[in-house]
Structure 1
């Protein structure tokens, strides 16, 4: 199978975002051969046109229209701190049981519940649910509950002030991403069990020293999930649970430089995750995808590439924001503008996340159910599945694959459209005038249109 050449309009984006080498070998989209039979050029053109039409429409509509779109409505009063502590403690107990299963259970990653829960239930299912619904992780993280119980039993203690900003959170998030992308065997149950246990102990120890603030400023996964939660329809404001159009919390929230940077890193890491699996990129590296040397041979180049890809995306996005400020002669500092506009890319990251992992979730989710029903292969049926068999039949026909591909492409396009709407609403909020806001967003809008083209090409490209 020969990889298609990357369209010229996308090449600049890939070169900037993916000066990297491939290194991931988890579940892949096994329907990719049938995807290549679909009219992907037509789908790509339609998706890009939808994003471009959104940009043009926003320039013509009244200034306050986008802001009104992201209004929210109060649903009920929301005070459930005690329930959160209980839920977090239960999550910790479940994690401890999974670590035991990782060490003592079957060696097959598709039979052991630990890798399936971590990489399928958590990193795919929970992240998507977080992005669609809201901050579920505030209830399910395995640290805040045990920390609250221990502080209550000990009568509290003096914690140190965290003076390093968000850099610990950035470092821990990149460490997690590096393990996912570059480790030779991230799904090996033994290896993953040790990594999960050490990470839990490290995070809990730092939370003992710096208090719960560490979970908001130093724990990268919690910070990334908090960024995704701001896209969700549910959020808490003023002690009330509110509901609104996806992204309303980004528009109504405070512009925090740390969360803005992490928002871009989420998108950059997700983009790299896709590029490093393509035949096109292996061709750039001079590697034969059918003679791939293995993950262990490219660990350090993969880590370096991931960092370069993220730095490139931060630079490109900063340049677009700076150019927009210059167009309207705004006196706003670039750092403040970056903190304001960068979170608008999180819906794009969520769309990519859905598109990239959808097919693996459809298969590995079934394995996760089977493994959780019988975690030690003793013949138990804890979930009452009966005679349940994993199926991949939905990858065998062009019709079903077309539906899957359109869902993936739709997620990418919807993410970009939502990002364009948010960026425009944020610009109106910053400059107070619809025409100037549209002009200030022109460079960023062109970037998002180009990124749509890149994302849809990536979705349709041959992968190993």
Structure 2
């Protein structure tokens, strides 16, 4: 007992030091980075950095690196297991059924509302409830709810309700497909969102929603809704994976409360390489969306279009090449991890087990990308919901304060810090030796630092409009 008590005291001291240093590093990183945004609103000052860019990027990468080094001080397996395995179960099955019925009805009514208003309502994106519900309500706010509170999509999903009411062909879903249809569909949705006039033309958005509805309902009635929405529907997989970061998790009997990110350490979050690819898409699509509206991205697009290539094809090629590049970097990191750990565990299995931390990174990216967008436009969303068939004369748009850069940068850094901790825990589950577990983390920590610096660099650049796309 005395040995265990001494170990706990030492671990507690190490953890206290780690928390203090991490907090200081985070404040320094955010403070230096946010120095670029102290003179005016965020959108007007992203490229006006008052400190050297190398210091701005190094502070962010250094914060993640410091976190990685400090987590390596925490080697007490009992403490690590206790943090991530501790749960509080709430058996509220009856309440969940009632809530599911109400939210399911709301989801179907919401889908009908979006389609009807998109056809009959005002045809300007800024005052269209169809556009604002889709991008502010679902793309931004509902996703934030998924990774900060819990995944609401299984209850809300209107396409699941429609598919459940239709007869199913009950065709066996091919195992080899895994989640690859969801990967391809999500890449397609990201491309269409960028090159199509979906945010400016409500009727074009209605056409896209109807096309998506046909695709996912057809898949669900062919392969059964349970299988399709678990594996192949991009929105369902999107919300499920983002929801794995949240403290509230659904169970067979109700819900359970866990530490944020604790679910990511479970070995059933990801089970195959297609799910790993989907995780990489979540990180890459936000990086891609940020890159194409910065000066380097605009110059790249304009140069390629100058060679005679169609702009839509250029954007698709950049999306796919970047995705393949991210996959290659991640696969190399998995191989280096196997080499560093000197283990017989396969590179494939290491890639699967170390992939869930990417969801924490994606959540941080998403928060940084959409929190200001949501705050600015939520009053307009309310205005259009109150007057869906007539354009509000003066839709309300909130301006962001000069210090809002702190919030965005903190989101990116906190997402990476949580990812480092999750990777640390996974390594101690996989490898029996402490030094072996620590060495295994080096390649993934290097990738995370690189991702951090890239995302902060993009955040530091002035934001332009994507060229050759409907504005």
Relative to the length of structure 2, the TM-score reads 0.82
What is the SS of the residue equivalent to 2:126? coil
| Residues 102 and 192 in structure 1, CA contact (< 8 A), matched pair in contact too | yes
Distance 1:66 1:179, change over 3 A: farther
The reply on whether 1:256 has 2:262 as its aligned counterpart is no
| Residues 71 and 248 in structure 1, CA contact (< 8 A), matched pair in contact too | yes
The reply on whether 1:340 has 2:350 as its aligned counterpart is no
* Residue in structure 1 matched with residue 457 of structure 2 by the alignment: 457
CA distance in 2 between counterparts of 1:195 and 1:347 reads 29
More moved, 40-49 vs 255-264: 40-49
Gaps of 5+ in 2: 1-39, 465-471
| Residues 88 and 258 in structure 2, CA contact (< 8 A), matched pair in contact too | no
What is the SS of the residue equivalent to 1:401? coil
CA distance in 1 between counterparts of 2:280 and 2:397 reads 36
The reply on whether 1:320 has 2:333 as its aligned counterpart is yes
More relative contact order, 1 or 2 (CA 8 Å, 6+ apart): 1
* Residue in structure 2 matched with residue 12 of structure 1 by the alignment: none
| Residues 86 and 145 in structure 1, CA contact (< 8 A), matched pair in contact too | no
Residue 229 of structure 1 deviates from its aligned partner by 0.5
* Residue in structure 1 matched with residue 448 of structure 2 by the alignment: 448
The reply on whether 1:73 has 2:79 as its aligned counterpart is no
How many pairs does the alignment contain? 413
Once the two structures are superposed, what CA deviation does each residue of 1:319-344 show, in whole Å capped at 9, x if it has no partner?
01110111121111122111111121
Residue 253 of structure 1 deviates from its aligned partner by 4.4
Once the two structures are superposed, what CA deviation does each residue of 1:195-239 show, in whole Å capped at 9, x if it has no partner?
112211321122112112111111111111111010011002452
CA distance in 2 between counterparts of 1:260 and 1:285 reads 28
CA distance in 2 between counterparts of 1:111 and 1:285 reads 30
CA distance in 2 between counterparts of 1:125 and 1:316 reads 31
Alignment of 1:43-442 (within 5 A): 44-64=57-77, 65-79=79-93, 80-81=96-97, 83-150=99-166, 159-163=170-174, 164-212=177-225, 213-237=227-251, 239-254=253-268, 255-257=270-272, 258-285=274-301, 298-377=311-390, 390-394=396-400, 400-402=401-403, 404-442=404-442
Distance 1:366 1:287, change over 3 A: farther
* Residue in structure 1 matched with residue 468 of structure 2 by the alignment: none
Residue 297 of structure 1 deviates from its aligned partner by 5.3
Residue 148 of structure 1 deviates from its aligned partner by 3.1
| Residues 147 and 246 in structure 2, CA contact (< 8 A), matched pair in contact too | yes
| Residues 412 and 452 in structure 2, CA contact (< 8 A), matched pair in contact too | yes
Residue 364 of structure 1 deviates from its aligned partner by 2.2
Once the two structures are superposed, what CA deviation does each residue of 1:50-69 show, in whole Å capped at 9, x if it has no partner?
21111111222214244433
Once the two structures are superposed, what CA deviation does each residue of 1:229-282 show, in whole Å capped at 9, x if it has no partner?
100110024524111222111112414113222111111111111111111233
| Residues 278 and 463 in structure 1, CA contact (< 8 A), matched pair in contact too | yes
What is the SS of the residue equivalent to 2:249? strand
Once the two structures are superposed, what CA deviation does each residue of 1:83-122 show, in whole Å capped at 9, x if it has no partner?
4244223311211121010011101111110011111110
Q: Aligned Cα RMSD in Å? A: 2.5
Distance 1:238 1:435, change over 3 A: farther
Relative to the length of structure 1, the TM-score reads 0.83
| Residues 361 and 412 in structure 2, CA contact (< 8 A), matched pair in contact too | yes
